[in-house]
Amino acid sequence: MILGAFCLNQTAKTALDVGTGTGVLSLMVAQTHPELIIDALDIDPQNCTLAKHNVANSQFSERINVVCQDIFDFNPIKKYNLIFSNPPFHVDSLKSKENRISKSKHFTEIEFASFIQKLSTLLSENGKFFMIFPAENLSVVKIHLENHDFFINEIINIYGKPNLKKRVITVCSKIPTELKEIDFLIRDTSEGYSKEYIEKTKHFHGTDLG
């Protein structure tokens, strides 16, 4: 929900969703970008089957193409103006015994470096790359982004509730700009959703993507 709400590049014509899962994020981005053509990529056949079903039953079926392929084997002839991803986030942590879950949830640091390098080759010179990941991985992510020709233009610190930073979104490009950093609160002290969360995600709450 949060990544979809922040993932905006209205000048983009082509987009790549890396690790689309069931396709929900692609559907959200298609909703906020009426002319965008999206390739939704996932390595897992079960995810791809669900994503294709969800896309086919949406109003955006003509603008989202689900591709079942490993990102490292994906070699399109085009570049993308917009790339967004919720990548395998537990870098070098304990892996699941089920291989399918491990592939979708874990990267070694070497794999993560290769992942960032690959995305650098797929992003257009004026494109934007949005990625969400656990807050504790920020220092590692920064190193690999900077090592592979990405400039971090914006850091969005996502707080589940006050003083509990859970996730970070980095907004990157190949063009250096002054770094902007903001904090975003999901729930306030009363455990209800914050005003900023409600405002930012209002386009998706109660909206029928079909």
Homologous superfamily of the 2-200 domain (CATH): Vaccinia Virus protein VP39 (3.40.50.150)
Tell the burial category of 181 from Cβ atoms under 10 Å away from its Cβ (0-12, 13-18, 19+). Answer: exposed
The predicted structure's pLDDT at residue 89: 56
The predicted structure's pLDDT at residue 59: 94
Average pLDDT per run of 10 along the chain, which is 210 residues long?
90 95 94 95 95 96 96 95 83 46 59 92 96 91 92 96 91 95 89 88 62
Q: Name the nearest CA neighbour of 60 among 17, 10, 26.
A: 26
Instruction: Retrieve residue 175's tokens.
Output: 């063009």
Pairing of strands 90-91, 151-161: unpaired
What angle, rounded to 10 degrees, do the helices at 138-147 and 109-122 form?
50
The predicted structure's pLDDT at residue 10: 85
